[in-house]
């Protein structure tokens, strides 16, 4: 089932790329394995998908210990400062940096081990009360500050679009994210590349790709519904 789902998602990614005149190789599929057992990832591995997303540090590090070391781990959930130290040397990319305080902590912990942290800035593009992330109009200022930290590389932007059953409603937000990313790239800020645009989940990744996503984070569409009360 998992392998079939991945095949289907990949076909959808290719179709969206074709529609938008993009090369499917520009889009990385991140399989979001949060709440799922590590055996589900083992089941997914023959597909060749090596990028997995988790939203809790403890779950990420537990799976890291058990599973093959060629897996690339993505921290996609809200990150508490006291948990940063457990991620050093284990994550390819932290998607959820939205404050200078968190960035300072990442700098301190990765610096101690002389490691570089690759991060994205999480943007609350629809200004939702309930969401983490920096507002669009504060993003450049935050990036300028973080770019001064020697053990951090800012690779781009991430957003979690509003929950909706009509993905077309999120097109406006994905397009705003793309524009923001282009605007920031033009500033040529040190240690900052804007190569990554992490946006789109099971309900809206196809629209996100049409608007320029380079990473999509798909959970339910690969591993099925999550059960939070077991
Ligand atoms: C859970 C989660 C996803 C995946 O959501 P699905 O709708 O199951 O695809 C993507 N991004 C983040 C940040 C998440 O927490």
Instruction: Specify the pairing of strand 72-75 against strand 91-97.
Output: parallel
Q: Distance, CA 195 to ligand 1 centroid (Å)? A: 21
CA atoms within 13 A on the CB side of 46: 8
Rounded to whole angstroms, how far apart are CA atoms 55 and 13? Answer: 23
Please list every protein residue whose CB sits less than 6 Å from any atom of ligand 1: 32, 34, 55, 76-77, 160, 201-203, 217-221
Show pLDDT as tens, one digit a residue, over the chain (230 residues): 999 999 999 999 999 999 999 999 999 999 999 999 999 999 999 999 999 999 999 999 999 999 999 999 999 999 999 999 999 999 999 999 999 999 999 999 999 999 999 999 999 999 999 999 999 999 999 999 999 999 999 999 999 999 999 999 999 999 999 999 999 999 999 999 999 999 999 999 999 999 999 999 999 999 999 987 65
């Amino acid at each position: 089932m998992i392998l079939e789902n991945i095949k289907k998602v990949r076909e959808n990614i290719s179709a969206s790329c074709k529609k938008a005149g993009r090369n499917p190789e520009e889009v990385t599929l991140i399989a979001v394995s949060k709440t799922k057992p590590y055996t589900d990832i083992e089941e997914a591995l023959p597909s060749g998908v090596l990028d997995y997303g988790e939203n809790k540090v403890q779950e990420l590090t537990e799976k890291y210990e058990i599973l093959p070391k060629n897996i690339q781990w993505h921290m996609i959930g809200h990150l508490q400062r006291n948990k940063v130290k457990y991620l050093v040397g284990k994550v390819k990319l932290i998607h959820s940096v939205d404050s200078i305080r968190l960035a300072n902590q990442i700098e301190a912990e990765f610096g101690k081990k002389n490691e570089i942290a690759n991060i994205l800035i999480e943007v609350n593009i629809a200004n939702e009360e309930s969401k983490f992330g920096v507002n669009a109009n504060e993003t450049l200022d935050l990036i300028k500050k973080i770019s001064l930290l020697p053990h951090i590389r800012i690779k781009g932007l991430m957003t979690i679009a509003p929950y909706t059953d009509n993905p077309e409603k999120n097109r406006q937000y994905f397009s705003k994210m793309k524009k923001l990313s282009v605007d920031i790239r033009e500033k040529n800020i040190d240690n900052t590349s804007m190569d990554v645009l992490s946006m789109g989940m099971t309900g809206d990744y196809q629209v996100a790709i049409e608007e320029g996503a380079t990473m999509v984070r798909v959970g339910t569409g690969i591993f099925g519904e999550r059960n939070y009360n077991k």
